[in-house]
A and B are shown apart, each in its own frame.
Chain A
Amino acid sequence: MNWPDLYLALASGGLYVVAIACLGLDATFGKPLARRLALVLTVVGLAVHTAALAVRTILARDVPFTDLFEYTLFMSWAIVLAYLVSFRKRLPRVGAIVLLAIVFLMIGASFFYYNDPGGGKMPALRSYWLYIHVSLAALGETFFAVGFVGSLIYLAKRAGGGSADSLSNLEDLTYRAVSMGFPLFTAGALVAGAIWAKRAWGAYWSWDPKEVLSLVVWLVYAAYLHARLVRGLRGPAAAALSIVGFLLTLFTIFSTLIFGGLHAYG
């Protein structure tokens, strides 16, 4: 079997698992060397992950987010990139472990719906709106993943009596991630999606399961931002909203496997 893209993706997943183990060692036994090794492994994992996407792009002769396998591979790659570039210094070790675990699970899940890259894409997908709609939606969801981890760790630390500073840092991290992801998700999933739907299917909105679920995700994050900006909502309620938002996001991504619908190819 000749699936170099899949093998590279799984290799990157393996590297992330070893990075998680190193971070766990550091968290348990306080080994700074293990922490540095985890960083190196994450960077190498990202390089291999990038190679997987590049190989997929070459084999498919198209951008690597036209089906569910490619989408999860691309989004997990973007999560690692966002972590290394923007959030590494602010996310505590345990947060990094959870984030990399999510990435690993996404790569692992992608294995089950691997598609032949030479299969081509259906005519309805042959539009430049594909690049705008899917890439922006994936990037928005990437930041939601970071916000989810920030909220999860916030709730855990709060239950364990974490310091006010660390809690405030996690709240701000979540808010920052969501406020970066929300406009991207709005522009990509809803706006570009609606405009493309009009061109391809003749209607901005068709009550397709994935459309509806994306709207619900948008409403949850809109409620989070509205409550925080207008009412100053903070604390566990805000964290819970962010967590619910990302769980719904994951459900939305994989919903086509259950419900089919107009987005059944993606």
Chain B
Amino acid sequence: MAVLAVLSLIGATVPQGEAAAYYTRSYGGFFGGLIWHLRLADVFRSAYYTWLLVLLCGMVLACSLKGLPARVRATRPKQFISDPAAILRMAPSARVVVDLEPEEARLHAVDILRKHLYAVRSRVDGDGLVVVASKMGLARYGSVILHLSFIFLLAGGISVAHLGSRAYETTRVGDSFDVVAAGGEVVKVTVEDFDIEFDDRSNISDFLCDVAVRGRDGLIARATVRPNHPLKLMRREFYLVSYEEDPTVPAGFMAAVLDSAGAPVVPHLYIPVAEPAYVEELAASVQGLNGVVPQVRVTFDDGGVESHALREGLQVRASGAYAFVLMHAVPSVVVTLEVIEEPGQALVLIGLMLLTLGGFVSLYLSHRTVWLVVRPHAGGKAEVSLGARASRNPEGMVREFDAMRRTLDELA
């Protein structure tokens, strides 16, 4: 884990995946060469990092397999401690000499512990009697859950890494690409539309694209894909990764409609190349035509038609009342979709849930343990060494411990 931590830090601090020249330029000849030859330029994909991970996973798995059955079987998994010195190093701890035979003293101590709702186990160890008592509740399942979470995460990670696939598809709006879906069926994915949404402060609030998936028998699904909202279909996931404008191919044109005084009646009129706009109430239509030189055609009330080559700032007066001002071409958009297949993701998800649950159960649920060693003392008496530990609320543990010790003192 220490070596992995150091390598991870190196991988996080040294830029990864650059060319050899970059490292020589940035870190000098010696260190740059060292980084390159030790493959520190690609730590997370290096063989030694993978093998260290495999080693760690193997160890976690071995520990889990070794420890889990005992954990699952044992209702009181705490171990005996037979060294009084070790017990007296705990906080809280105490040594009490009672006027009883050791076995009698043990029985009294066990009785006291049971009154405080502890589950108790005892055994003879040399010349002493040792007792371990625990009040674990659900907390004892914490380590079981944590071990299980590691196994699930491990299995899920391996499945995702070795059985999954991911590919990026960059497509112009209106175009399609093929995807091999579950069962080997090839489906056609068409990016039908793309839009950017703005909030009331003109910040981009979202971007989204409409996607249609068609199989041999026609349309399978149509959905809107946006960040945080992938399309999940036929064991594949489609993520909208990014978009880019391509100014070399206009998708449409932005125009404004002005009245006779020059005031904007329709300040933003989008005229798509593929779908001609028609503004009937203005008694004229504007049509963008796709081609090397885009044209706009305006039809007047009297049936007259004018065609103009599209250029920025072009103004066409219609019926004397309105004017169309063509402002600029709207570039087409190219979107990148990521297509993912990850068969192990359910395992990862379960592992993550168990990791959370195990952490909370282990550390947030209270568990207390009390250890005792009873040994013969001079004059037929017994010496009781007792110590305790609590996972939470140490003050409460001290109060409970003091109460138990006072009861034991009464026997002294």
- Measuring CB to CB, which residues of chain A are less than 8 angstroms from any residue of chain B? 118-120, 122-124, 126-127, 129, 168, 172, 176, 179-180, 182-183, 186-187, 190-191, 194-195, 198-205, 207, 209, 212-213, 215-216, 219-220, 223, 225, 229, 255, 258-259
| Docked-complex contact B239 and A204, CB < 8 angstroms | no
| Docked-complex contact B356 and A209, CB < 8 angstroms | no
B8 within 8 A of A: yes
| Docked-complex contact B203 and A119, CB < 8 angstroms | yes
Chain B residues with CB below 8 A from A216, complex form: 5, 8-9, 12
Q: Given A186-B355, A195-B352, A202-B237, answer yes or no on A123-B207 (Cβ-Cβ < 8 Å).
A: yes
- Which of B121-129, B222-230, B375-383 binds A? B222-230
Q: Given A187-B359, A199-B228, A215-B8, answer yes or no on A126-B239 (Cβ-Cβ < 8 Å).
A: no
| Docked-complex contact A124 and B227, CB < 8 angstroms | yes
A194 vs B338: C-alpha distance in the bound complex, in angstroms?
18
Chain B residues with CB below 8 A from A126, complex form: 205-206, 227-228
| Docked-complex contact A219 and B345, CB < 8 angstroms | no
Shortest CB distance B13–A (Å): 7
Shortest CB distance A116–B (Å): 10
B227's contact among A123, A172, A205, A220, by CB below 8 Å, is which?
A: A123
**30 pairs, CB–CB < 8 Å, chain A vs chain B:** A120-B203, A123-B207, A123-B228, A179-B392, A183-B359, A183-B364, A186-B355, A187-B359, A190-B352, A190-B355, A191-B352, A194-B352, A198-B345, A199-B228, A199-B230, A200-B228, A202-B237, A202-B241, A202-B338, A202-B340, A203-B166, A204-B345, A204-B348, A212-B12, A215-B8, A216-B5, A216-B12, A229-B362, A229-B391, A258-B13
- Kindly list 5 other residue pairs between chains A and B, CB separation below 8 angstroms, not including A124-B227, A199-B228, A212-B11: A123-B206, A186-B359, A202-B241, A209-B12, A223-B1
Per-residue A-contact encoding for B150-164, CB less than 8 Å = 1, 0 else: 000000010010000
Q: Which residue of A has the minimal Cβ distance to B353?
A: A191
Q: Which residue of B has the minimal Cβ distance to A187?
A: B356
B201 within 8 A of A: yes
A198 vs B204: C-alpha distance in the bound complex, in angstroms?
22
Chain A residues with CB below 8 A from B226, complex form: 123
B91 within 8 A of A: yes
| Docked-complex contact A202 and B239, CB < 8 angstroms | yes
A129 vs B352: C-alpha distance in the bound complex, in angstroms?
15
| Docked-complex contact A120 and B205, CB < 8 angstroms | yes
A186's contact among B44, B160, B356, by CB below 8 Å, is which?
A: B356
B313 within 8 A of A: no
| Docked-complex contact A183 and B356, CB < 8 angstroms | yes
Chain A residues with CB below 8 A from B356, complex form: 183, 186-187, 191
B28 within 8 A of A: no
Per-residue A-contact encoding for B167-210, CB less than 8 Å = 1, 0 else: 00000000000000000000000000000000101011111000
Q: Which residue of B has the minimal Cβ distance to A261?
A: B12
B363 within 8 A of A: yes
Per-residue A-contact encoding for B382-406, CB less than 8 Å = 1, 0 else: 0000000001101000000000000
Shortest CB distance B145–A (Å): 12
A201 vs B340: C-alpha distance in the bound complex, in angstroms?
10
B22 within 8 A of A: no
A124's contact among B228, B349, B364, by CB below 8 Å, is which?
A: B228
Chain A residues with CB below 8 A from B1, complex form: 219, 223
A191 vs B146: C-alpha distance in the bound complex, in angstroms?
13
Chain B residues with CB below 8 A from A215, complex form: 8
Chain A residues with CB below 8 A from B362, complex form: 229
Chain A residues with CB below 8 A from B364, complex form: 183
